[in-house]
C-alpha cells in the first residue's frame, strides 16, 4: 500500500481534491488521483471523501492510501456477481447470494473488490438504471449466502429498523468439527474485533451481549463433523464463529478460530473446505409496512454442497 500525507498550503488552497493530490505526489497523474478518490482512498481531516471536485483549504490535511495494483492491467481480483446470484429484487430490496472471498464492504485496499461496485456493475449490464445501493448488513468475507442491499436510503432505514428490533430472522448453516448430538445455545459477552489480531474475544465485562441458538441438522460420526443450523438472536461481529469455537465445535475451514480442535479428514474433503463453511441460508423480513413477511433462501455454494456430497458418500 502507498500512503501519503499532505498538508494543504497556500499553493494548494482552493484546488480540487484530485488536483491537490496529483500536485503533491510525484508521478501521480490527475486521472489516477481522481480514480483513487472515487474508490475511497482519500481522507480530508480524517474523513473519507469520494468527491474528486471537492475544494480543499489551507490547513487541511489530506491522507491518501492506494494500492499500485489498481493501475496494473488485469491485476484486480477475478470475483464477480452473476444474474443468478440475485435471489430477490422487489420493493427496493435486493438480496444476493454472496460468494466466498468477496468482502461485503470496502476495505482500505481499493484493489480489493467488494459487493456494492460489483452489484452496481451487474445491474448496469442487466439494463437497470443507476441506484443508490446501500448495504443493510454484513457477512464476513469468506461467509457465503443471503446478503441484503437496499436501493435507496429510505428503504435502508426501514430495513435497519427491523434489524435493530430483531424482527428480521436470519438462519445460517455451518459445517463444524466434532459430533453434536443435541441442540444448544451460547450466550456470552463479546469484544470488538481486536485491531492487532483481527479476532473477537469472549470477555467477562466491557463487551456486548451475544446469543445464538444451534440445532443439529446431521452428524457424521465416522468423520467426526456435523452440519448445524445457527439462529443468531443478536448480530455481533464474528458471533457465530466465536460461539461455535467457544462450544468446542469451530467451523471447518475457519483459519482464525479453533486451530487446536481440528483432526484429520480425507484429502478430498479438506480440498472442498477452501474457506470457512458458514452459509447464510435464509432471511425472513417484512418488505413494506403493509406486506406479509417474506423468506428468501440461498442455495449452497459448490464448496459447501460438494463437501456434503462427499461426506454422504464416505
Terminal Cα distance for the chain, rounded: 46
Catalytic residue among 63, 109, 132, 140: 140
**Integer Cα distance of 286 and 246 in angstroms:** 33
What is the b/e burial string over 111-146, where b = at least 16 CB atoms within 10 angstroms of the residue's CB? bbbbbeebbbebbeeeeeeebebbbbbbbbbbbbbb
Distance CA 244, CA 175 (A): 10
| Catalytic residue check, 92 | no
Q: How far apart are the C-alpha atoms of 104 and 34, rounded to whole Å?
A: 24
50 neighbors 38 (Cβ within 8 angstroms):
yes
The values of phi and psi at residue 143, to 5°, are -85, 135
Interatomic CA distance for residues 49 and 40, integer angstroms: 7
- Which residue has 463479546 as its cell numbers? 190
Query: What amino acid positions are annotated as catalytic residues?
Result: 140
Amino acid at each position: 500500500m502507498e500512503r501519503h500525507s499532505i498538508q494543504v498550503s497556500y499553493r494548494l488552497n482552493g484546488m480540487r481534491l484530485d488536483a491537490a493530490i496529483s500536485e503533491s505526489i510525484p508521478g501521480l497523474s490527475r486521472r489516477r488521483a481522481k480514480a483513487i478518490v472515487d474508490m475511497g482512498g482519500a481522507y480530508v481531516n480524517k474523513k473519507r471523501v469520494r468527491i474528486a471536485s471537492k475544494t480543499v483549504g489551507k490547513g487541511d490535511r489530506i491522507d491518501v492510501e492506494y494500492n499500485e495494483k489498481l493501475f496494473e492491467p488485469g491485476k484486480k481480483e477475478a470475483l464477480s456477481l452473476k444474474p443468478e446470484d440475485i435471489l430477490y429484487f422487489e420493493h427496493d430490496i435486493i438480496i444476493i447470494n454472496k460468494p466466498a472471498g468477496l468482502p461485503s464492504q470496502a476495505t482500505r485496499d481499493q484493489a480489493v473488490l467488494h459487493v456494492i461496485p460489483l452489484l452496481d456493475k451487474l445491474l448496469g449490464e442487466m439494463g437497470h438504471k443507476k441506484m443508490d445501493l446501500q448495504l443493510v448488513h454484513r457477512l464476513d468475507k469468506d461467509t457465503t449466502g443471503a446478503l441484503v442491499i437496499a436501493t435507496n436510503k429510505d428503504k435502508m432505514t426501514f430495513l435497519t429498523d427491523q434489524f435493530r428490533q430483531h424482527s428480521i430472522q436470519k438462519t445460517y448453516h455451518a459445517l463444524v468439527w466434532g459430533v453434536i448430538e443435541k441442540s444448544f445455545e451460547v450466550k456470552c459477552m463479546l469484544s470488538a474485533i481486536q485491531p492487532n489480531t483481527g479476532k473477537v474475544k469472549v470477555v467477562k465485562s466491557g463487551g456486548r451481549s451475544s446469543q445464538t441458538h444451534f440445532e443439529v441438522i446431521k452428524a457424521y460420526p465416522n468423520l467426526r463433523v456435523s452440519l448445524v443450523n445457527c439462529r443468531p438472536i443478536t448480530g455481533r461481529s464474528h458471533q457465530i464463529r466465536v460461539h461455535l469455537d467457544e462450544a468446542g465445535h469451530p467451523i471447518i475451514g475457519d483459519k482464525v478460530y479453533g486451530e487446536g480442535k481440528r483432526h484429520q479428514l480425507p484429502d478430498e474433503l479438506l480440498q472442498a473446505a477452501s474457506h470457512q463453511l458458514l452459509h447464510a441460508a435464509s432471511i425472513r423480513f417484512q418488505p413494506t409496512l403493509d406486506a406479509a413477511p417474506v423468506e428468501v433462501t440461498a442455495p449452497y455454494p459448490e464448496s459447501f454442497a460438494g463437501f456434503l456430497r462427499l461426506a454422504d458418500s464416505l
